[in-house]
């Protein structure tokens, strides 16, 4: 199950074998009709052909194709191609000598080096008030994903040590080959029950989950309708799926409906066959904290007969009364969502990701989810930590209300801050803010000319200002982070923001104080700029 | 196909001591043979063998296993206690079920390439024609039956088929050949896959017994457990342990650092341990710098796109791992494949692509990256690194080696293929590997020149988006790695005795890389955190060395033993991955079930199409340093008997009887090189 490529090492011996096979088949056929009951089979084949001739043809083609791939050398060059130029050996040697490749990686620019050096390193455990290696000082942490304050939870740590003493650390194998440990199955069951889904499957890294779930279902020729603002993992998943994509405007369900209608019109016009169709979006968007209107999207998906892949990496474990995510917040049964993807790393402060759905959907991924099949399962103690976190959330709804209260406190301060725009839904545990006015053109005129999306902004200039704010806040005891992206590789360039990750582990007072520091830093930096 | 998956009625899961009255005849035959074998091996072990060398000296003996690690079972299977009880001066630091006790110093070897007398990979042997024909016929019959069942099923049992048919305006969720294959071929032997376990996947493992009454559609768990010999996990150096120095270190780190670092490396998820571990990994592999990612698969799939892009060419071995292919597909670079490990084919391809340039435009390639694996996980073959390095000098491509399976498992110092071949790692551009295998941890690393790694920190997807590696996992990596390297005693009073004590160091993602004069060298004491204290036998690297040498012995012994028994095996004779060819899909599941039904149950990995070519279904053994020589004997005896029943011995080489093999194992292993060279 590891290397899915059929090799061609046997191809040379195959030809006589196939000849022999053909011969024995004819022999077999004559023999076949002498077997009692053979007529029934023959009739079946015929009737199957009658019912669905296309299918028989398809199968024959498949078999031929399989044989062809087996026989064909995968390494053949396109020597016959019309663009092929014939060279002599000498000429090739010369060309080889002349060729100079680019360096494997371009060295970092000065700005990138500064960025790398500016990453805060935490000494000791992470949490609401970690100590930094650089200064040895304690800071208030508004950067790390510790939404429900589970980092450093003593009970979870104890359970993790117990698990370590029973299971060791690594699983030393992919799930298919003795890497499925009972605690994995327990966590899968816990997640499924927590959400009210039929089943769930556990991946060993949150980020790699959705980019594996999408190509497991969406294939070439299928249709994906996706939000423009989806995170990078989804974008990569869509790219890997090779499906036909249509983008709708960020979190705009009117635009979604237009797209759905357009697809339908297209299909009617082309009279194409029924293909699989998917809507892909996020619960709470990682890049700006917007929240999707789940009931409305479910209505649309049912109306137009799409399947929904919903990425709840941010919303799972952070919204709803007990942190079950959007389904709890909107009171929608999880069974309405075909593939519900979430993160064990973010919401449950452990590691890994999951996809919940029907048994069929989940079992399909156990064979077709590439990063599930081809990767070792997650360490047992991390799975147990995830299970314990779910138990904690179930039993302690006050954590979620504390988180919401902190979010409100933070937003209340930031809303009164001049020069910034707060993005996203008011319940979102991540709060992004960008600069309000377009930065002065003098900062970096070159990049101002690249409009992305509807508004135009100067990425480099804004990033520099935001970075100053981050550093100023850090000097005053609050750890922030800019939202980091692979610039120029995101499908739609996001506007630079600072991303605050709220936690329930701080008191309301502490949040207000920290927000005050952020506010002061913003004011200081912006006034310096003007 | 003859043998249905077991049900509780058949004796597969009943207590092994019961007579096998209801089982198929082969089962009782196997059982009987097994009893004989066991009687023999007990005889053998009771005869006094001179075992005077203490393997490890440690003050506290852990030979007596705790409740956690041993089920309340009588030691029928020979898994819980060593055949040869340790003498009073032998003190073992491991639990026998996790890491077997073996004090005999002659069961050791060094994994190293001998340029004067190179060990060649075995020629690929072809099975007799009738095997090939029956194999194809099996598939043909399976496919026919599958279609018959689909035909009736879709008409009369609609509710089981909704996902493969379009209904209510939805297209089928999965309707292609893959789905047919999974439902109709793989499902027949699903009981051989995804077997859940509990506890440590060490030398032995405890499986949760299950059976199916509906053709593997669902599995029912009986609630009972069985301890089995584990020759399937990627536990090459035996670091999958719940006891011992590494686990102690991990426990300490959980107390100090918690479970999670809460975020991606660039967004609030970088802890002090990341930098320390990365510096240690760089030292271990002999590169300037290294970067750690929380998943091995993602190391390939997220960093390869940062290395190449449009206008670049990736030349990839045809058997490369799925993670590599995922990464390459995301990168937007052109891909060409060369025949597995075929250097001539590679050179021709190189001449072709460099002279032709990019398709149509004939512009020269921006860069060419060759991606190979150190040790191939399905074939057990080793990359021909010396030749590739020669080609690299001439053709100026960049070289990326995925050492997922070879790191730790090969080379006299466990530093992977470069170490095995005695090649300077800096001759390679990028070394990638995973911690899931030899280190008993999780995640992966990518190592190379500092400029490159720094670029990957920022421009790789992992830095910005993926969760960073949790502290317990980092600790397992550091502890196991340090015990392979050995820790050099601090030379002078170095200022960098621990990270906690250097708050003045600049706030960077990594610690300064300390340039070493020679590679491979022990880890300087400053390279691991001061709180991470390893017991003396790990600290001085003696146990690490023993593990490496035990692994080398076991690998060679199993390879040589299986060949002498007459099986067709693939791969390099020194590789810890030993594929044994089965061919027939039906025999594959039989093999797995029969191995499990023995009095010393053994779990094996069987693989077939699409992981391998259609005909060459195989069972893949992964040898570990945790196995004792007696464990390998047990596997050889089992293969011998099952191989006779299933008609698997088709090799033309010289054959020995299994007793002879077990007796002359050392000779056999030492002879590998000599015989091969002759
Ligand atoms: C060659 C190769 N690369 C990468 C991986 C993925 O590693 P991990 O299991 O740590 O995700 C594997 C694992 O099976 C592998 O064999």
Which residues have C-beta within 8 Å of that of residue B84, sequence separation ≥ 6? B45, B49, B51, B630
Q: What is the reported pLDDT for B150?
A: 78
State which residue of chain A sits closest to B346, comparing Cα positions: A75
HSE at residue B251, side-chain half, CA atoms within 13 A, is 20
Q: What is the reported pLDDT for A45?
A: 58
**Residue A190 contacts residue A385 (beta carbons within 8 Å):** no
Contact A122 B270 (CB under 8 A): yes
Q: Is B184 helix (H, G, I), strand (E, B) or coil?
A: helix
Q: What is the reported pLDDT for A270?
A: 83
Q: Show residues of chain B in contact with A182, CB under 8 Å.
A: 196-198, 208
**Residue A464 contacts residue A447 (beta carbons within 8 Å):** no
Q: What is the separation of C-alpha B301 from the centre of its chain, rounded to a whole number of angstroms?
A: 19
- Averaged over successive runs of 10 residues, the pLDDT of chain A (530 residues) comes to 42 59 65 60 57 61 66 51 76 84 88 90 91 91 92 92 92 91 94 94 94 92 92 93 92 92 88 86 93 94 92 93 92 93 92 93 90 93 94 92 94 90 92 75 40 64 91 93 88 90 93 93 87
Q: What is the reported pLDDT for A238?
A: 94
Residues 220-239 of A with CB under 8 A from B: 222, 231-233, 236, 239
Which of B193, B297, B325, B581 is the mutation pick for testing A, counting most A CBs within 10 A?
B297
Rounded mean pLDDT, B565-570: 91
Q: Show residues of chain B in contact with A150, CB under 8 Å.
A: 260
Within an 8 Å CB–CB cutoff, is residue B10 touching chain A?
Answer: no
A389 within domain boundaries: yes
**Residue A278 contacts residue A337 (beta carbons within 8 Å):** no
Q: Domain check: are A200 and A291 in the same one?
A: yes
Rounded mean pLDDT, B560-574: 91
**Between β-strands A199-203 and A223-227, what pairing exists: parallel, antiparallel or unpaired?**
unpaired
Q: For residue A239, give the nearest of B256, B330, B472 by CB distance.
A: B330
Whether residue B8 is predicted with pLDDT greater than 50 in this model: the reply is no
* A83's tokens: 């663009």
Query: B298-324 b/e with 16+ CB inside 10 Å = b?
Result: bbbbbbbbbbbeebbbbbbbbbbbbbb
Contact A83 B362 (CB under 8 A): yes
State which residue of chain B sits closest to A125, comparing Cα positions: B257
A423 within domain boundaries: yes
Q: Domain check: are A198 and A126 in the same one?
A: no
Residues 290-309 of B with CB under 8 A from A: 294-298, 301-302, 306-307
CA nearest to A294, candidates A334, A255, A262: A334
Q: What is the separation of C-alpha B640 from the centre of its chain, rounded to a whole number of angstroms?
A: 23
Choose one of A395, A419, A452: the last residue of a domain: A395
Higher pLDDT, A214 or B32: A214
Q: Show residues of chain B in contact with A184, CB under 8 Å.
A: 196
State which residue of chain A sits closest to B131, comparing Cα positions: A17
Rounded mean pLDDT, B130-142: 85
Strand order in the sheet with A277-282: A199-203, A353-357, A339-343, A307-311, A277-282, A223-227, A244-248
Which CATH number covers residue A433? 3.90.1150.10
CA–CA separation, B30 and B25 (whole Å): 9
Angle between helices A380-395 and A397-415 (to 10 degrees): 80
Domain chopping of chain B, boundaries: 1-92, 133-190, 245-486+496-534
Q: For residue A120, give the nearest of B471, B476, B507 by CB distance.
A: B507
Choose one of A379, A395, A411: the last residue of a domain: A395
Rounded mean pLDDT, B641-670: 88
Q: For residue B476, give the nearest of A123, A170, A277 by CB distance.
A: A170
Whether residue B497 is predicted with pLDDT greater than 60 in this model: the reply is no
Domain B245-486+496-534 top-level CATH class: alpha beta
Q: Provide φ and ψ at A372, rounded to 5°.
A: -85, -50
* B652's tokens: 């033309």
Angle between helices B25-46 and B585-596 (to 10 degrees): 50
Q: What is the reported pLDDT for B98?
A: 86
CA nearest to A120, candidates A454, A361, A478, A366: A478
CA–CA separation, A458 and A448 (whole Å): 5
Q: Show residues of chain B in contact with A376, CB under 8 Å.
A: 234, 296, 434, 436, 442
**Residue B657 contacts residue B565 (beta carbons within 8 Å):** no
Lowest mean pLDDT among A458-462, B173-177, B385-389: B173-177
**Residue with the nearest Cα to atom 12 of ligand 1?**
B404
Q: Is A509 helix (H, G, I), strand (E, B) or coil?
A: helix
Query: What is residue B178's DSSP assignment?
Result: H
Q: Domain check: are A318 and A301 in the same one?
A: yes
Angle at B163 between CA B159 and CA B165, to 5 degrees: 85
A88 within domain boundaries: no
Within an 8 Å CB–CB cutoff, is residue A114 touching chain B?
Answer: no
Atom of ligand 1 nearest to the CA of B443: 10
A139 within domain boundaries: yes
Residue B623 alpha carbon to ligand 1 centre in Å = 17
B481-495 tens-digit pLDDT: 999 999 887 665 444
CA–CA separation, A366 and B183 (whole Å): 13
* B484's tokens: 């392979």
* A386's tokens: 């995830």
Contact B270 A7 (CB under 8 A): no
Q: Domain check: are A134 and A233 in the same one?
A: no
**Residue B512 contacts residue B450 (beta carbons within 8 Å):** no
Q: Please state, as a whole number, how many other Cβ atoms lie within 10 Å of the Cβ of residue A52.
A: 12
Query: What is residue A102's DSSP assignment?
Result: P
**Residue with the nearest Cα to atom 3 of ligand 1?**
B404
CA–CA separation, B162 and B170 (whole Å): 10
Q: Does the beta carbon of B321 sit less than 6 angstroms from any atom of ligand 1?
A: yes
Confidence of residue B87 (pLDDT cuts 50, 70, 90): low
Rounded mean pLDDT, B596-606: 91
ipTM tops 0.85: no
Q: Domain check: are A501 and A437 in the same one?
A: yes
Bridge partners, B227 (sequence order): B206
Q: Domain check: are A326 and A473 in the same one?
A: no
CA nearest to B11, candidates B626, B585, B601, B537: B601
Q: How many domains in chain A?
A: 3
Contact A8 B318 (CB under 8 A): yes
Q: What is the reported pLDDT for B79?
A: 75
Greatest mean pLDDT range, A20-24, A204-208, B217-221, B653-657: A204-208
Q: Domain check: are A449 and A307 in the same one?
A: no
Choose one of A374, A395, A416: the last residue of a domain: A395
Q: Show residues of chain A in contact with B613, CB under 8 Å.
A: 6-10, 70
Q: Is B517 helix (H, G, I), strand (E, B) or coil?
A: coil
Confidence of residue B567 (pLDDT cuts 50, 70, 90): very high
Which CATH number covers residue A182? 3.40.640.10
Q: Does the beta carbon of B373 sit less than 6 angstroms from any atom of ligand 1?
A: yes
* A26's tokens: 């004819």
Q: Domain check: are A468 and A500 in the same one?
A: yes
Q: Show residues of chain B in contact with A161, CB under 8 Å.
A: 251, 254-255
Which of B144, B179, B259 is the mutation pick for testing A, counting most A CBs within 10 A?
B259
Q: For residue B124, give the nearest of A9, A66, A102 by CB distance.
A: A9
HSE at residue A217, side-chain half, CA atoms within 13 A, is 29
Q: What is the reported pLDDT for A8?
A: 41
Q: Domain check: are A365 and A430 in the same one?
A: no
**Between β-strands B368-373 and B313-317, what pairing exists: parallel, antiparallel or unpaired?**
parallel
Q: In which element (H, E) is residue B513 found? A: none
State which residue of chain A sits closest to B132, comparing Cα positions: A17
B194 — alpha (psi -120 to 50), left (phi > 0) or beta? left
Query: What is residue A175's DSSP assignment?
Result: I
**Between β-strands A339-343 and A353-357, what pairing exists: parallel, antiparallel or unpaired?**
antiparallel
Q: Which residue has the tokens 């000429």?
A: A91
Q: What is the separation of C-alpha B407 from the centre of its chain, rounded to a whole number of angstroms?
A: 10
Within an 8 Å CB–CB cutoff, is residue B269 touching chain A?
Answer: yes
**Residue A203 contacts residue A261 (beta carbons within 8 Å):** no
Q: What is the reported pLDDT for A447?
A: 40
CA–CA separation, B197 and B207 (whole Å): 4
A73 within domain boundaries: no
Q: Domain check: are A162 and A206 in the same one?
A: yes
Q: Which residue has the tokens 């009617």?
A: A268
A247 within domain boundaries: yes
pTM greater than 0.95: no
CA–CA separation, A309 and A281 (whole Å): 7
Q: Does the beta carbon of A375 sit less than 6 angstroms from any atom of ligand 1?
A: yes
Lowest mean pLDDT among A470-474, B500-504, B541-545: B500-504
Residue B438 alpha carbon to ligand 1 centre in Å = 12
Query: B104-121 b/e with 16+ CB inside 10 Å = b?
Result: beebbbebbbeeeeebeb
**Between β-strands B523-524 and B487-488, what pairing exists: parallel, antiparallel or unpaired?**
parallel
In order, the DSSP letters of A192-234 are HHHHT-SEEEEES-HHHHHHHHHHHH--TT-EEEEETT--HHH
Task: Identify the domain containing residue A32 by its residue range.
Answer: 15-59
Rounded mean pLDDT, B7-23: 38
Q: Does the beta carbon of B477 sit less than 6 angstroms from any atom of ligand 1?
A: no
């Amino acid at each position: 199950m590891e290397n899915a490529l059929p090799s061609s090492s046997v191809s040379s011996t195959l030809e006589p074998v196939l000849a022999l096979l053909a011969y024995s088949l004819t022999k077999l056929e004559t023999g076949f009709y002498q077997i009692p009951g053979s007529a029934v089979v023959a009739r079946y084949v015929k009737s199957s052909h009658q019912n669905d001739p296309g299918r028989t043809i398809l199968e024959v083609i498949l078999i031929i194709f399989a044989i062809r791939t087996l026989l064909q050398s995968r390494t053949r060059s396109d020597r016959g191609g019309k663009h092929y130029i014939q060279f002599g050996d000498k000429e090739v040697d010369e060309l080889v000598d002349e060729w100079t490749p680019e360096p494997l990686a371009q060295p970092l620019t000065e700005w990138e080096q500064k960025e790398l050096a500016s990453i805060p390193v935490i000494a000791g455990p992470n949490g609401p008030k970690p100590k930094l290696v650089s200064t040895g000082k304690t800071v208030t942490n508004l950067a790390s994903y510790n939404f429900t304050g589970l980092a450093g939870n003593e009970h979870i740590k104890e359970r993790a040590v117990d698990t370590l003493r029973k299971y060791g650390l690594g699983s030393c194998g992919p799930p298919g080959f003795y890497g499925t440990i009972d605690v994995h199955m327990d966590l899968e069951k816990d997640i499924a029950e927590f959400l009210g889904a039929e089943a769930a499957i556990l991946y060993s890294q949150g980020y790699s989950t959705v980019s594996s779930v999408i190509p497991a279902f969406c294939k070439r020729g299928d249709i994906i309708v996706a939000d423009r603002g989806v995170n990078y993992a989804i974008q990569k998943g869509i790219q890997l799926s090779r499906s036909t994509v249509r983008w709708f405007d960020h979190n705009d369900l009117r635009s979604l409906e237009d797209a759905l209608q357009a697809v339908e019109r297209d299909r009617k016009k082309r009279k194409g066959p029924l293909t699989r169709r998917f809507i892909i979006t996020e619960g709470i968007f990682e890049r700006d904290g917007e929240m999707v209107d789940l009931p409305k999207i479910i209505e649309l998906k049912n109306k137009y007969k799409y399947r929904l892949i919903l990425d709840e990496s941010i919303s799972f474990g952070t919204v709803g009364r007990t942190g079950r995510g959007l389904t709890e917040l909107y009171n929608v049964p999880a069974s309405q969502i075909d593939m519900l993807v979430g993160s064990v790393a973010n919401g449950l402060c452990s590691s890994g990701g999951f996809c919940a759905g029907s048994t069929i959907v989940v079992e399909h991924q156990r064979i077709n989810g590439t990063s599930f099949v081809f990767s070792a399962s997650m360490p047992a103690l991390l799975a147990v930590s995830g299970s314990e976190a779910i138990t904690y959330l179930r039993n302690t709804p006050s954590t979620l209300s504390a988180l919401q209260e902190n979010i409100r406190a933070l937003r209340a301060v930031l809303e009164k801050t001049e020069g910034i725009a707060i993005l996203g839904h008011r319940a979102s545990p991540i709060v992004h803010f960008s600069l309000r006015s377009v930065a002065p053109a003098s900062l970096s005129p070159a990049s101002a000319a690249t409009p992305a999306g509807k508004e135009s902004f100067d990425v480099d200039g804004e990033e520099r200002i935001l970075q100053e704010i981050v550093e100023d806040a850090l000097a005053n005891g609050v750890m922030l982070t800019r939202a980091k992206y692979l610039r120029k590789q995101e499908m739609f360039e996001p506007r630079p923001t600072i991303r605050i990750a709220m936690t329930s582990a701080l008191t309301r007072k502490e949040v207000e104080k920290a927000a005050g520091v952020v506010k002061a830093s913003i004011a200081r930096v912006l006034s310096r700029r003007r | 196909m003859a043998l249905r998956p077991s049900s509780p009625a058949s004796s597969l899961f009943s207590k092994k001591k019961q007579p096998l009255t209801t089982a198929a005849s082969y089962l009782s035959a196997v059982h009987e043979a097994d009893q004989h074998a066991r009687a023999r091996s007990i005889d053998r072990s009771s005869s006094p063998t001179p075992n005077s060398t203490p393997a490890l000296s440690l003050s506290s003996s852990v030979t007596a296993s705790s409740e956690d690690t041993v089920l309340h079972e009588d030691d029928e299977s020979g898994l819980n206690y060593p055949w040869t009880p340790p003498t009073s001066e032998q003190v073992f630091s491991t639990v026998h079920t996790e890491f077997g006790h073996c004090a005999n110093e002659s069961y050791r070897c060094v994994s190293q390439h001998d340029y004067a007398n190179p060990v060649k990979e075995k020629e690929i042997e072809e099975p007799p024609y009738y095997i090939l024909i029956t194999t194809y016929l099996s598939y043909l019959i399976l496919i026919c039956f599958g279609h018959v069942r689909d035909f009736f099923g879709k008409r009369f049992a609609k509710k089981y088929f909704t996902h493969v048919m379009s209904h209510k305006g939805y297209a089928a969720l999965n309707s292609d050949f893959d789905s047919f294959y999974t439902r109709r071929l793989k499902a027949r032997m699903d009981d051989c896959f995804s077997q859940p376990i509990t506890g440590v996947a060490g030398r032995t493992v405890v499986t949760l017994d299950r059976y199916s009454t509906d053709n593997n559609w669902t599995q029912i768990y009986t609630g009972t457990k069985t301890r089995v010999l584990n020759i399937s996990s990627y536990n090459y150096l035996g670091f999958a342990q719940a006891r011992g120095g590494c686990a102690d270190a991990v426990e300490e780190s959980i107390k100090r650092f918690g479970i999670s670092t809460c975020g991606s490396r660039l967004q609030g998820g970088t802890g002090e341990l990341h930098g320390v571990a990365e510096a240690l990994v760089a030292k271990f592999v002999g590169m300037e710098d290294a970067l750690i990612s929380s998943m091995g698969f993602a190391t390939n799939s997220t960093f390869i796109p940062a290395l190449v892009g449009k206008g670049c060419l990736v030349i990839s071995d045809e058997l490369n791992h799925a993670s590599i292919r995922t990464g390459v597909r995301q990168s937007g670079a052109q891909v060409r494949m060369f025949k597995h490990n075929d250097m001539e084919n590679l050179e021709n391809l190189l001449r072709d692509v460099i002279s032709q340039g990019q398709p149509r435009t004939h512009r020269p390639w921006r860069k060419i990256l060759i991606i190979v694996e150190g040790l191939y996980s399905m074939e057990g073959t080793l990359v021909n690194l010396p030749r590739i390095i020669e080609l690299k000098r001439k053709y100026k491509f960049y070289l990326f080696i995925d050492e997922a399976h070879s790191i730790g498992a090969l080379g006299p110092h466990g530093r992977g293929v470069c170490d095995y071949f005695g090649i300077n790692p800096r001759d390679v551009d990028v070394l990638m590997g995973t911690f899931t295998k030899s280190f008993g941890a999780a995640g992966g690393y990518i190592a190379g020149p500092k400029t490159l790694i720094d670029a990957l920190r920022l421009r790789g997807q992992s830095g910005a988006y993926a969760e960073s590696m949790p502290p317990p996992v980092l600790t397992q990596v550091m502890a196991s790695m340090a015990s392979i390297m050995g820790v050099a005693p601090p030379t002078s009073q170095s200022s960098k005795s621990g990270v906690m004590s250097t708050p003045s160091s600049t706030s960077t993602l990594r610690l300064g890389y300390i340039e070493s004069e020679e590679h491979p060298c022990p880890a300087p004491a400053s390279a691991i955190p001061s709180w991470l204290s390893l017991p003396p036998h790990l600290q001085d690297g003696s146990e690490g060395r023993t593990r490496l040498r035990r692994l080398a012995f076991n690998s060679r012994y199993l390879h040589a033993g299986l060949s002498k028994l007459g099986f067709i095996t693939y791969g390099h004779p020194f590789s810890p991955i030993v594929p044994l060819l089965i061919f027939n899909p039906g025999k594959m599941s039989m093999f797995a079930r029969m191995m499990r039904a023995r009095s010393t149950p053994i779990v094996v990995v069987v693989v077939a199409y699409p992981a391998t070519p259609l005909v060459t279904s195989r069972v893949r053994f992964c040898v570990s340093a945790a196995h004792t020589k007696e464990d390998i004997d047990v596997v050889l005896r089992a293969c011998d008997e099952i191989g006779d029943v299933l008609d698997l011995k088709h090799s033309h080489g010289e054959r020995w009887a299994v007793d002879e093999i077990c007796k002359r194992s050392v000779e056999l292993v030492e002879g590998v090189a000599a015989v091969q060279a002759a």
